[in-house]
């Protein structure tokens, strides 16, 4: 299996899940600095020009964070990365969609790539502020979802790996404050050997 990633991108969360599973995989770095995601050979493999992407042994590609995480959890049941009940599964899907489609794509992407949201340079600061507001509102809701539990669903699941990369971005990239219960979750994630291995492999430790 080949895992396409870029250091410090949202692929970090999938990297954590691959480390949790512990089976061999090949790390394929996509150099965003040189625009490799928009060039051959990557663009033929993934015309979406995005990471994460997972190339499986049968030659088929899986893209989109929630789909990759779901595939990894379902194909490695012994890793216990999903709740057993339908109720638990729909809550994971609900959280994943919110974290990726809203907090990442409508929040952090505005902060990191304001130029994607406006053609006018002078508007970029306002775009970034909207991004910060979206992220802060997101963490408030996620803090309520987490409550006093150690992990979002109680037991560790793929949803925690998504929350982890958002926390990492808030603290290390965007320098945003996060609610205390989210900080506690971040610390628990940082203590997991799989997280430490993923950070080290991406040069982020």
Ligand X SMILES: N[C@@H](CCC(=O)N[C@@H](CS)C(=O)NCC(=O)O)C(=O)O
| Residues at the site binding ligand X, with contacts judged by CB under 6 A | 9-10, 37, 49-52, 64-65, 100
Query: Minimum distance from CB of 128 to ligand X (Å)?
Result: 16
Rounded to whole angstroms, the Cα distance separating 149 from 196 reads 22
Q: Which contiguous run of DSSP H or E holds residue 145?
A: helix 124-146
Query: Minimum distance from CB of 88 to ligand X (Å)?
Result: 21
Token output for 74: 């379902």
Residue whose CB is less far from ligand X, 109 or 183: 109
Residue whose CB is less far from ligand X, 42 or 186: 42
Residue 55, strand partner residues: 2, 61
Rounded to whole angstroms, the Cα distance separating 166 from 10 reads 8
Residue whose CB is less far from ligand X, 124 or 155: 124
Residue whose CB is less far from ligand X, 117 or 181: 117
Burial, 49: exposed, middle or buried (Cβ in 10 Å; 0-12, 13-18, 19+)? middle
Query: Minimum distance from CB of 70 to ligand X (Å)?
Result: 11
φ, ψ (nearest 5 deg) of residue 120 = -105, 115
> Are β-strands 26-29 and 53-55 bridged in parallel, bridged antiparallel, or unpaired?
unpaired
Is the Cβ–Cβ distance between 4 and 58 less than 8 Å? Answer: no
Query: Minimum distance from CB of 9 to ligand X (Å)?
Result: 4
Query: Minimum distance from CB of 19 to ligand X (Å)?
Result: 18
- Collapsing DSSP to helix, strand or coil, 3 comes out as strand
Residue whose CB is less far from ligand X, 168 or 185: 168
Polymer length of the chain: 205
């Amino acid at each position: 299996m080949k895992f396409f990633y870029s250091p410090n991108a949202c692929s970090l969360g999938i990297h954590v899940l691959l480390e949790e599973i512990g089976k061999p995989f090949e790390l394929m770095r996509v150099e965003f600095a040189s625009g490799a995601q928009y060039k051959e050979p990557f663009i033929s493999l993934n015309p979406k020009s995005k990471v994460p992407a997972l190339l499986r042994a049968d030659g088929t590609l899986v893209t989109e964070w929630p789909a990759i995480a779901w595939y990894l959890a379902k194909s490695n049941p012994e890793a216990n990365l999903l709740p057993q009940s339908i109720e638990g599964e729909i809550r994971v899907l609900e959280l994943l969609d919110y974290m990726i489609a809203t907090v990442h794509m409508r929040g952090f992407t505005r902060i990191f790539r304001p130029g994607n949201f406006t053609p006018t340079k002078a508007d970029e600061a306002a775009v970034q502020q909207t991004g910060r507001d979206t992220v802060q509102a997101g963490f408030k809701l996620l803090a309520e979802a987490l409550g006093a539990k150690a992990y979002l669903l109680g037991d560790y699941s793929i949803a925690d790996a998504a929350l982890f990369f958002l926390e990492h971005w808030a603290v290390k990239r965007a320098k945003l404050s996060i609610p205390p219960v989210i900080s506690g979750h971040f610390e628990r994630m940082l203590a997991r050997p799989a997280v430490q291995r993923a950070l080290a492999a991406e040069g982020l430790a």
